[in-house]
Amino acid sequence: MNACLPPLQWQTYDVDFTNAVVKDGRKLKNTRLTIRLNDIVIHDNIEIDSKCPGSRKGPEGIPGPIRLQGHSNPLQFRNIWIIEK
């Protein structure tokens, strides 16, 4: 199923992100993600067991910057919300 809307229409992309839990230098829980594209769940509560390529240097579980990437494609972002759980 293609969850994308036609070209030149705004898409919605919702990410529910739960950071890894680290205590005393030991990882207790992995990062978890649920991702929706135009209200269609494309990843449902998946577990990420390692750092992603391109992640910042530093231990997991510590809040950091959010990076938006377009892979050299023309795109725009608007209405970006960050809501702490």
Task: Say what the pTM is.
Answer: 0.78
Question: What percent of the chain lies above the pLDDT cut of 70?
Answer: 99
CB–CB of 5/11 below 8 Å?
yes
Q: Flag whether pLDDT at 79 surpasses 80.
A: yes
Q: Flag whether pLDDT at 39 surpasses 90.
A: yes
CB–CB of 54/71 below 8 Å?
no
Q: Say which residues have a Cβ less than 8 Å from residue 3's Cβ, sequence separation at least 6.
A: 37, 38, 40, 42
What is the distance between the terminal CA atoms of the chain, rounded to a whole angstrom?
30
pLDDT recorded at residue 72: 83
Strand pairing partners for 26? Answer: 23
